[in-house]
Amino acid sequence: MNRSSIEAVCPHCSAVNRIPAERPAKEAKCGRCHRPLFEGKPVPATAETFERHRTRNDIPVVVDFWAPWCAPCRAMAPAYERAAAELEPDYRLLKVNTEEEPALAERYQIRSIPTMMLFARGNPVAQTAGAMNASGIVKWVRAHGPEQAQPRTASASG
Ligand SMILES: [Zn+2]
């Protein structure tokens, strides 16, 4: 695989941006809306933007399926936010409100919330239910993430 650049979807306008490998992704700005591509925060996703992030990001995508009435979901929200600050720009963290996007929850057969799913190149690779603290989230994501999830440490061979 050519690692000279990665593609990342803008959290603000959903434009697909190409980030050269030699430039720090954390400082990259969107070519369309000029806002930062990574702000260390989970991105609320609709069915439409979810699809875009799932299919167009070179980096793995983590999704938190939650609902406003779910107390454990609300309790986990700050931990998920801290995890986003730690995992970006190696991962993109999304939040899907299952009240507003029931079709997405149904499609991925979300039976209990909070449920986290990890997608790599569009495919679901891991899923877990139940609230976690920030370090638990980071550990779970890194344990299931593909190796190409760490472009900063990837060797230049090949
Ligand atoms: Zn943008």
* Side chain identity at residue 22, one-letter code: E
The 10s digit of each residue's pLDDT in 117-132 is 999 999 999 999 999 9
How much is the average pLDDT of 30-41? 97
Assess whether pLDDT exceeds 80 at residue 3: no
**Can you give the pLDDT at residue 101?**
97
Mean predicted confidence (pLDDT) in 15-31? 94
Options 10, 30, 33, 70, the catalytic residue: 70
Mean pLDDT across the chain? 92
**pLDDT of 147:** 65
What is the CA(34)–ligand 1 centre distance, in A?
6
Rg of the chain taking only CA atoms, in angstroms: 15
> In the annotation, is 13 catalytic?
no
Instruction: Please check whether residue 65 is in contact with residue 116, taking contact to mean a CB–CB distance below 8 angstroms.
Output: yes
Q: Alpha carbon of 140 to those of 20, 65, 116, 129: distances in Å? A: 28, 16, 10, 12
Share of the chain above pLDDT 70, in %: 91
Cα 14 to averaged position of ligand 1 atoms, centre (Å): 6
Task: Kindly state the average pLDDT of the residues 135-146.
Answer: 95
> What mean pLDDT do residues 96-114 have?
97
Ligand 1 center–CA 85 separation, angstroms: 19
Structure tokens at 158: 């090949």
Choosing from 10, 13, 30, 73, the catalytic residue is: 73
The yes-or-no answer on residue 70 being catalytic is yes
